[in-house]
Amino acid sequence: MKILKYKKSSGLHIVCKKCNKLIENSQDAYKGCKHPLEKQKYKAIIKHNGSRKTRDLKALNYDDAIEELVEFKKELANPIKFISNIPKKESKHELLNDCILMFSDWLENIDVPFFEQKIRTKEYIRDTVGYVCKLKTYLENSGHKTDKMTIYQVDKTIVNKYFEELYQKSKSIATYNHNIRALKGFYKFLIATKGYDIINPLQYAKLKNEAPNPINVDDNDFYKIMNCLTEENSIQIYKNGVRKNRYRPYIKEAFELIAYSGMRITEAISIKYSDIILTKSGEIDYVIGVDYKYEKAHNHDKSKPKKIVPIPYSPELEDLLKRLDYKNHLGEDRYLIGADENISRESMAKQLSHSFGFYRNKAGIASPIGLKHLRKSFLTKIETQTGLVESLGYQKTKSVIQNNYLVKPEVARAVKGKGFRLFNPDVI
């Protein structure tokens, strides 16, 4: 793959206008981009006053691109000149490719007013733009020339046909729903934020039901997996020959903490010794957890107190904390799990999730349970044994818990265990 002439220069990049990827790093196909030279453009990306300013350059050779880049920097350095060059009325991009690029910049808060900015992860932005680009790929495979196609031509009929095929082919319900949400957000951005006079073809699109019958980790299956957590025979070999060691010294305690706390994976392994709360007599009262999902959605600017989830005491949790020597570390700003590991909590969570699947298979368990299903087990047991799962605040509403977390057969067994019957036998 050939690319435009490139020498490392601050602010100068080469972007593929077909798939929106930066490609100057290598002469080889970069991150899957295999598009021809004529799809490439020089692009200026400058950090200025805490924000990122971008401009697609007209130049097709390196020297002219450098001149345009220097001129762009001068404009940024001269606010009066820069402001004077801004048109009074924003011109609307009509090409589909330009609209996708504009949407990508908006997700990254480029040229977005401060009070309208929203914090999004790089992974979320990458995946969202990727789902939108899948529609573009579908159009190309259907014979459309997307480099000349306007957003007005991508009408409801085309989009409906795309999702009709996706509905039939998609093996993952979650992936299908992610596509729906991404395209909905794309059109909402164009209509509500940018004022495009178009109809949102996905306005009434319905999501697939992702979890009609929640499953949990059976007690026996959990103990089988725990008994397999040894360093021996813990190498996973992929079809391409890649080998991964799925064992970690902290893996047993990590699985237990997730099971006994009912928190999401990242939330559980982010618990610290300072989060352990004792009674006046020095016994374990409860442990503090933080609802990270709520924090990202409703408190990304940290303007409100954190949403705390009090993790209730259980004999299993106390036994784990004793093995983690909590009395000698009480009050320390130190993780319970893998405190000395040079790895982010997010990366550790992914690592643990993959390891759980490996050891599940190693234990010979056919059920498609994952590490996340330990949370469903926990919440189901809290509900069936105490009826207080909603009050603990693990989820925002009771309906979310009822529809997505409570395992109905377990509830039925609990009802049976409490001696339920319909009629009084003494009446007969």
**DSSP states of 2-21 as a string?**
--------TTEEEEETTT--
Residue ending a domain, choose from 62, 86, 110: 86
* Residue 155 and residue 33 in one domain: no
Q: Which 3 state secondary structure label does DSSP give 290?
A: strand
And the tokens for 25? 């790093």
Q: Shortest CA distance to 186 belongs to which of 98, 71, 315?
A: 98
Q: Are residues 33 and 131 in the same domain?
A: no
In this structure, the answer to whether residues 13 and 143 fall within a common structural domain is no
pLDDT at 352 (0 to 100): 96
Q: CA–CA separation, 243 vs 256, rounded Å?
A: 26
The CATH number assigned to the domain holding 368 equals 1.10.443.10
Query: Do 51 and 154 belong to one domain?
Result: no
DSSP 39: G
CB under 8 Å to 65, separation ≥6 — which residues? Answer: 12, 42, 57, 59
Same domain, 25 and 60: yes
Average pLDDT of the segment spanning 88-103: 79
Per the prediction, the chain carries an average pLDDT of 84
How wide is the angle at C-alpha 130 spanned by C-alphas 124 and 134, nearest 5°?
150
d(CA 190, CA 90): 13
Within a domain: 225:
yes
Q: What is the pLDDT of residues 153-165, one digit of tens each?
A: 888 888 888 888 8
Token pair belonging to 350: 């992914």
Question: Is position 427 within any domain?
Answer: no
Domain extent, residue 44, equals 1-86
C-alpha distances (whole Å) from 363 to each of 191, 215, 229, 373, 375 are 52, 18, 10, 17, 20
| Percent of the chain topping pLDDT 90 | 40
Residues 243 and 139 in one domain: no
Q: Of 210, 241, 266, which closes a domain? A: 210
- The listed range with the strongest mean pLDDT (16-25, 151-160, 367-376) is 367-376
Does the pLDDT at position 88 exceed 50? no
pLDDT in tens, 219-255: 999 999 999 999 999 999 998 889 999 999 999 999 9
CATH number of the domain enclosing 135 = 1.10.150
Give yes or no: residues 107 and 7 share one domain. Answer: no
Pair 170, 291 in one domain: no
Is there a domain that residue 428 lies in?
A: no
DSSP string, 109-165: TTT--GGG-----HHHHHHHHHHHHHHHHHHHHTT--TTT-BGGGS-HHHHHHHHHH
Question: Does residue 64 share a domain with residue 106?
Answer: no
Number of structural domains (the chain) is 3
Q: Long-range contacts: 56-59, Cβ < 8 Å, 24+?
A: 56/15
| Domain assignment of residue 249, yes or no | yes
- 176, 210, 244 - which closes a domain: 210
d(CA 338, CA 272): 11
Q: How many CB atoms lie within 10 A of CB 31?
A: 11
Q: Is residue 307 part of a domain?
A: yes
How many other C-beta atoms can be found within 10 angstroms of the C-beta atom of residue 234?
A: 18
Q: What gap in Å lies between CA 332 and CA 339, rounded to an integer?
A: 11
Q: What is the structure's pLDDT at 175?
A: 85
Helix (H, G, I), strand (E, B) or coil at 79: helix
pLDDT of residue 320: 96
In a domain, 426, yes or no: no
Shared-domain flag, residues 236 and 339: yes
Residues 44, 171: one domain?
Answer: no
Checking if the pLDDT of 271 tops 90, the result is yes
Compute the average pLDDT of residues 270-292.
94
Tell me whether residue 65 is in a domain.
Answer: yes
Same domain? For 234 and 383 the reply is yes
Question: 9: pLDDT confidence band, cut at 50, 70 and 90?
Answer: confident
DSSP 8-state symbol, 182: H
Residue 17 has pLDDT above 80, yes or no: no
Per-residue model confidence as pLDDT tens digits over 295-309: 887 777 777 888 888
In a domain, 289, yes or no: yes
The pair phi, psi for residue 14, each rounded to 5°, is -120, 125
Q: Say what the pLDDT of residue 282 is.
A: 93
> What whole-number distance in Å separates Cα of residue 276 and Cα of residue 324?
12
Taking the alpha carbons at both ends of the chain, their separation in whole angstroms is 87
